[in-house]
Each structure stands twice: as C-alpha cells, then as structure tokens.
Amino acid sequence: MSNVLYFKAIKVVMAASFCLLSTVTYAKEAVNKIDDFTAEYNIVHDGDIVGKAVRILTNLPDGSIEFSYKTDIEWLIFSDHRKEFTTNKIVDGNVIPLSYKSDREGTGKDKYYHWSFDAEAKTATNLKKKSPEAKAIDWPEGLQSKLSYHLQSRFNLINGRKSFDFDVISTKGRIGNYTYKYLGEENIMTPFGNLDTVKLQRKKPGKDQITTVWFARDLNYLMVRLHQIESDFKQVHAELVSFE
C-alpha cells in the first residue's frame, strides 16, 4: 500500500472512531424510571393543618408504574376523602396511561370513576358501566389521565424538557387541555426542610382557579408544595413532611 493510501485509510478510521466516540459520549437517553417512593404532606388552611396527603409510586413486576394520591381533610363540619390511582408505562420519558381510578367520599355527593386506556388502539373504556365497551376517541399525542400528567410533569423536569402543555382525558371521557407556565426557580421552606425548587403555575381558562406547584431539584423533582385557589374562601395548600 502506498503512503498516500495508507494515510487516507488512517484518516477514515479515525473519523469513524471519532463519530462513534461522539455518539457514545454525547447521546443521552431519556430517563424512564423513578424509584419507588412514599411522600407525605400536610394540608393547610388559614395556617391550620386540616388534613394529610400521601403520594406513592410503585414499580410493578411487568415494568409498568402505579402512581397514587390520597387526601384526607377534616375541617369544621366539612370532610373530604379522595383516592386516585393510575397505572402507566414509560417510553422515552413519555408517560402512557393504562388506567385511572378515583374514589371520593365526604361532605356532598360521593363519586367514583374507573377507566382503562389503550393508546395504540386509541380507545378508552369506562369500567364503571355494567357492560364496559372500548370506545374510540380522538387520541392526541401525549394524552394523559387526570393523575398521570403529574407524573409526566416530573419526567419532563428530569429529562430537561420545557413543555408543560397536556391534553387530559376527564372522568367523563372528555379531553381538555392543561397548560402550566414555567415561573422559574425558587428556594422555599417546608416542614421537610429548605429546598431549591422549580415553580409552575396553571390558570384555568374562564375560572378563578389557579394552581401553583413546586418541584425540588435535589429530590429528583418530587412535588414538594402545591397551592390551589378556587375562590377567596376555597384554597388548598399542601407541603412535604416526609419522603422515603
């Protein structure tokens, strides 16, 4: 082999090696897993603790994730007890809901909902009905359940994504849009301790409802505070107490 051909061959090999090295060095796969956790919160109204909340995430043997949120509130003659569950699979950092269930008891009318979802078939099944049937729905990309979008917010933050615009299927099978605005970073004090957080806020179109949420960077973007205003008299404030 001539010297010229030899050096050309060397350059080709070096270029290929550099490209491979660049791919290995800089390619970053999306995070698809959050470790199991239990997080407990105080629910506060006018400075008084009126209830407790618990968020639990469990990685199931089949690779799916179960995520639940439970709240128990007792205030004067008012009581409210809610449980929400969602199972999901995670693909490329995207949460794909498989089911959603909620149960509410207390002052006023009790409510119960149970849905299963099939993103590939683009169907939703109301399991509350006596004879459930899968119904075809307009399934926008990234469709979430009423609880799974909380999980998607966290995966977005973990994976460095800046979009917090979610299409969400309601408990009645209708699809609405939830858009959160990124408000920046804020250091806050909670019963759990001092935390550096990312702050998001949603204003419900045509309503007085404003929901503000804080996620802690050092806790892998766990939600550590939530404040929801529905009116001057109806406000919910939850703060992290323990995490394991």
Measured between alpha carbons, how far is 65 from 94 in angstroms, rounded to an integer? 12
pLDDT single digits (tens) 15-71: 444 343 333 434 479 999 999 999 999 999 888 899 999 999 999 999 999 999 999
Cα angle for residues 96, 101, 106 (degrees, 5° grid): 145
Domain boundaries, position 15: 1-30
> Are 4 and 107 found together in one domain?
no
> Are 180 and 163 found together in one domain?
yes
> Are 14 and 50 found together in one domain?
no
pTM, entire model: 0.85
CB 217 within 8 A of CB 197: yes
> Are 26 and 88 found together in one domain?
no
The DSSP symbol for 130 reads: S
Query: Distance of CA 85 to CAs 56, 60, 88, 234, Å?
Result: 9, 14, 10, 24
> Are 67 and 162 found together in one domain?
yes
For the chain, what is the domain count?
2
> Are 132 and 188 found together in one domain?
yes
The DSSP symbol for 94 reads: E
Measured between alpha carbons, how far is 67 from 99 in angstroms, rounded to an integer? 10
> Are 127 and 25 found together in one domain?
no
Tell me, what's the pLDDT at 22? Answer: 37
C-alpha dihedral sign at 21, 26, 29, 34: positive
> Are 109 and 135 found together in one domain?
yes
pLDDT single digits (tens) 95-116: 999 999 999 999 889 999 999 9
pLDDT single digits (tens) 178-233: 999 999 999 999 999 999 999 999 998 877 789 999 999 999 999 999 998 876 55
> Are 94 and 21 found together in one domain?
no
